[in-house]
Amino acid sequence: MKVTVDRTLCDGNGVCMGIAPDVFDVDDDLNLHIVDEIPDDPVIRAQVRQSITSCPVLALSLEE
């Protein structure tokens, strides 16, 4: 499972970070960081899927 972000769209609003804080991190310059390895934990993976569908600017996508 790999998540990619379209940086031209992401505005750093942090919605994904609110849902899956172990995977997404927005720094104070509003740049999004995504962990390289998404932990193999069903709860975290469900959070990641929710983040993707909850991003208000549709910047996230999933490669299974």
Partner 1 sequence: MVVTTSQTVVVAGGSLAGHTVVAELARRGFAGDVVWVRGPEGTAPYSRPALSKELIQGKVTSDDIRLPGLEAHGLRLRVVDHAVCARLDPDDDRVLVTPAPGAAGEPSDGDWIPFDALFVCTGTRARLPEAFAGLPNVHCLRTLADAERIRERLSGRPRTVVVGAGLVGSEMAASLRSCGLPVELVVQGRLPMDAVFGEDLGRFCLERHHAHGVTTRLLTTVTGLSASEPDGPVVLTFDDGEQTSADLVVLGLGAVTACEWLRGSGLDVSDGLGCDEALRTARPNVFAAGDVANWRHPVFGHRMRVEHWSNASAQARHAVESWWAGLEGREPPPFAEVPYFWSDQYGLKYQMVGHARGHDEVSVERTGADGYPFVTYFREGRVVAAAGVNAPRAVMRMKARIQSEATTIQGAYAG
Q: Which residues contact ligand SF4 by CB under 6 A?
A: 5, 10-16, 24, 26, 32, 55, 57, 59-60
Q: Which of 2, 4, 7, 18 binds partner 1 (CB under 8 A)?
A: 18
Pick one of ligand SF4, partner 1, none as the site partner of residue 59 (Cβ within 5 to 8 A by kind). Answer: ligand SF4
Report the C-alpha gap between 64 and 54 in whole angstroms. 18
Residue 48 CB burial class (10 angstroms; 0-12, 13-18, ≥19): buried
Contact 23, 44 (CB under 8 A): yes
Q: Which positions touch partner 1 (CB under 8 A)? A: 9, 11-15, 17-19, 21, 25-30, 50, 53-54, 56-58
